[in-house]
Structure 1
Amino acid sequence: MDLSLARWRKSTRSGSTGNCVEVADNLPGLVAVRDSKDPAGPVLSFRPDTWTTFVHRLPER
């Protein structure tokens, strides 16, 4: 998986304690998710429709 063009952004649901999730949703056919504390670490990847379903099912804060 080539993530060289990924534009990472912190999730609006990330906390101020450093527990942050970064999302790259600018790649065709792919949404990538990683831990901001470990940018060289593992990345989860989802199909855009799967990611949208996940986000819409999150409880309101």
Structure 2
Amino acid sequence: MVSRENRIIGGFVIAALVLGFGSTALADVPSVVPLAIFLIVGVIMPMIVTNYLDSSGAV
């Protein structure tokens, strides 16, 4: 069984990949933009969401 934390992280990582690669394919952006998207959406946001859910006691 997959834990809640793994599902959250997996969802955000998939979203980060889609947004990061989509930003380079659809717009002419500097290479810093996809890197920022990967870090913010793929690393920081899952930590914030899991910490919030852990502190609020949500199931």
Question: What TM-score do the two structures reach when normalised by structure 2?
Answer: 0.29
Q: Which has the larger radius of gyration?
A: 2
Of Structure 1 and Structure 2, the greater strand share is in 1
TM-score (norm 1): 0.29
Which has the higher relative contact order, 1 or 2, with Cα contacts under 8 A spaced 6 or more apart? Answer: 2
